[in-house]
Structure 1
């Protein structure tokens, strides 16, 4: 599914990631269907791409390939026209359960990436303060991770990923384990970070409302073998920010997009 908005945007935006017949089969010698099969997709700078689909459709597999955790068994994936091979700082990853060092303070967790890259200490200290402020953790900088709530841990994880200035932020159901109120607060946080930084975000979710309220582009995947069966723009997150209101979620347009996505997923 596409429309004029997508066409015009793609003609003017800079391509960041390109996937060409991207395939991954865990059972390379067997008869099992691949996890994802011949995905052709481009992601453009500044997009907030939300990915949905039934359980087991290959969403996380796709994200893990983009992160460099997995190597495809067929096709190619490129970042800035260079094939992705392994892990590097160009891609930041945030999981549902933050991989933070429990015995470190929030400050040390956020500083860890730049320290490993041998960034000068003075610059690290300045940037850590900047990202503590961005995610609202300035007053909790010296707290140990085990002392934090779930939402605070995710704030620290987001800051830890962003401080490395990745080209793209990959998020695998980052708010799925949070309570409803904290989840809304985290959605608002990541929306503002995206809006203020222009960072490209690839975001996996099972929540249709979350996808529509965050994404500028929605991808829906089929059951295994995972393929892209729908690809269309969404504008509700921009309305949310520009109008400083969540009224968009109560519109007929929102209801129709929600119904359309649920129909696609339930048909699988």
Structure 2
């Protein structure tokens, strides 16, 4: 990808209205008057095409934040909007990928990917066409008829990503999707999701415990404090675009990369 296209990409971010806004969002699971919120007073905007990585100490509310964005739970206070419409539950505008892929083990890969459109009663010809498209995008064309239990962990995550993307969500929410994979498969999956993000222009909200992963994937990193979770840093990063532009992992060996890595680790360890 040349510099001209990257500049156009960045200018698009700057000109776009926010896709998602969170205004004064807090969540308390226990309704007692002295209960401590899981997250407290979150105020963020997420813009179309961003790759937002979220980090913080264990138990800081990262997954709670994702669950609110997904519509699985509603905030105790504040409001969350997508395209200026309040989120009141789950819908196809937001696709979710978990660490353990929620696939039907007794279905084939092809049938798992087709499940969402089938529930939406999309015409069968359209479903067949789209399934083949997304099998190719995630590199599973030759495994479409395999049952899920026959797949490796990385292949299952590829199928889960295709299952989410086929519904054409406006934002893809990913909760430590590569955390259970071995190092080599994890790196391959990082490269896959980076390319999918870049080529599709999708917005991605990605939770991780791995600082290197956040730096190598995100265009922006949100760092959360310990319980109750608050946003304590909102950092723009560009290494993922360098990787796409240069087709090399040299970015991770730069002084800038190591300085940002050190700063983020210091923020988290001070919590």
| TM-score, with structure 2 as normaliser | 0.95
How many Å apart are 1:54 and its aligned residue? 0.2
Partner of 1:201: 204
- Indicate whether 1:76 and 2:79 are aligned: yes
- Indicate whether 1:256 and 2:259 are aligned: yes
State the distance in 2 between where 1:22 and 1:245 align.
39
How many Å apart are 1:29 and its aligned residue? 1.8
How many Å apart are 1:9 and its aligned residue? 7.3
State the distance in 2 between where 1:9 and 1:72 align.
30
Question: RMSD value over aligned CA atoms?
Answer: 1.2
Partner of 2:108: 105
How many Å apart are 1:14 and its aligned residue? 2.6
Deviates more, 1:7-16 or 1:92-101: 7-16
How many Å apart are 1:197 and its aligned residue? 0.3
- Indicate whether 1:41 and 2:57 are aligned: no
State the distance in 2 between where 1:195 and 1:120 align.
28
How many Å apart are 1:13 and its aligned residue? 2.3
How many Å apart are 1:28 and its aligned residue? 1.6
CA gap 1:94/1:9 in 2 versus in 1, 3 angstroms: same
State the distance in 1 between where 2:28 and 2:247 align.
44
Output one character per residue of 1:102-155: Cα deviation in whole Å (capped at 9) or x when no partner: 000000000000000000000000000000000000000000000000000000
Partner of 1:137: 140
- 1:6-17 paired onto structure 2 within 5 Å: 11-17=14-20
State the distance in 2 between where 1:31 and 1:186 align.
43
Deviates more, 1:7-16 or 1:140-149: 7-16
State the distance in 2 between where 1:13 and 1:162 align.
22
How many Å apart are 1:174 and its aligned residue? 0.1
How many Å apart are 1:11 and its aligned residue? 4.3
SS in 2 for 1:15: coil
- Indicate whether 1:177 and 2:183 are aligned: no
Match of 1:122 among 121, 125, 133: 125
State the distance in 1 between where 2:246 and 2:14 align.
27
SS in 2 for 1:38: strand
- Indicate whether 1:234 and 2:237 are aligned: yes
Q: In structure 2, list runs of 5 or more residues that go unmatched.
A: 1-9
How many Å apart are 1:262 and its aligned residue? 0.1
State the distance in 2 between where 1:32 and 1:97 align.
30
State the distance in 2 between where 1:30 and 1:14 align.
37
Deviates more, 1:104-113 or 1:21-30: 21-30
How many Å apart are 1:31 and its aligned residue? 1.7
Output one character per residue of 1:58-78: Cα deviation in whole Å (capped at 9) or x when no partner: 000000000010111000000
Q: In structure 1, list runs of 5 or more residues that go unmatched.
A: 1-6
Q: How many residues align?
A: 262
- Indicate whether 1:165 and 2:168 are aligned: yes
CA gap 1:252/1:80 in 2 versus in 1, 3 angstroms: same
| TM-score, with structure 1 as normaliser | 0.96
Partner of 2:64: 61
Match of 2:189 among 174, 186, 207: 186
